[in-house]
Chains A and B, each alone.
Chain A
Amino acid sequence: MELFFEIILGVVSLALILSFIRFIKGPTASDRVVALDTMSVTFISVLVLLGHMFNRFIYIDVSLVYAVLGFIGVLIIARYLEGGI
């Protein structure tokens, strides 16, 4: 069962690499914001997975804070692109 979680961590790391390549390549700023959003959603599942592998209940608070606050940065950049704030 340990091996299963390690392989899942490898697959998720591959997903992170692909999103980061889009962040480097992306022609406009919107593409980069989309890549940032995908990476921050992927990191939520990485944090919960690592919390299960370290076997500590208190560690998933970090991922809770990510889920609550992580999208505010994306939201504010999108409002800037729109011309608002």
Chain B
Amino acid sequence: MTEELMQQILKISFYGASLALILIGLYGVLTKKNLIKILLSMAIAESGLNLLFVAIGYIMNGTAPIFSTAVLDENNQLLETVTMVDPIPQALVLTAIVIGLGVTAVGLALVIRLYKHHNTINIDEIRNLKW
């Protein structure tokens, strides 16, 4: 198996998995009636989005940014260059994961309050806006 074929398989796996996760999460949000299931589907779609961002910023055979050391010879001349992956999507995704946790936590707190008031979490039966 050649190098190019392996790279193609890697790209197809990463992009295919992230797109499939986003679509499955979207399906769950649109069709399910249970509020906890809806929040769970939102978490799944968000995981797929994070994976898509990091996979876009990946460069083949690169190494992690920031940690890398340059390889110098005795006259301080650069011997070889080090390929790094793109650090900007990683910083964005790092924030997005934490914000996603906050969104899920607030949604679940609202679900508990709704259940204590209406005694159900089916969105078809919660019709009035009064608490």
Q: Is A72 an interface residue (CB 8 A)?
A: no
Interface contacts (Cβ under 8 Å), in number, total 7
- Interface residues on chain A, size class: under 10
Q: Does B67 contact A (CB under 8 A)?
A: yes
What is the interface size of chain B, counting residues whose CB is below 8 A from a CB of the partner?
Answer: 3
Q: Does A56 have its Cβ within 8 Å of any Cβ on chain B?
A: yes
A contact face: mostly helix, strand, loop, or mixed: helix
Q: Which residues of A contact B (CB under 8 A)?
A: 54, 56, 58-59
Interface string of B41-85 (1 = CB under 8 A from A): 000000000000000000000011001000000000000000000
CB contacts (< 8 Å) of A59 on chain B: these are 64
A54 proximity list for chain B (CB < 8 A): 63
Q: Could you pull out 7 A-B pairs where Cβ atoms are within 8 angstroms? A: A54-B63, A56-B63, A56-B64, A56-B67, A58-B64, A58-B67, A59-B64
Q: Cβ of B63: which chain A residues have Cβ within 8 Å of it?
A: 54, 56
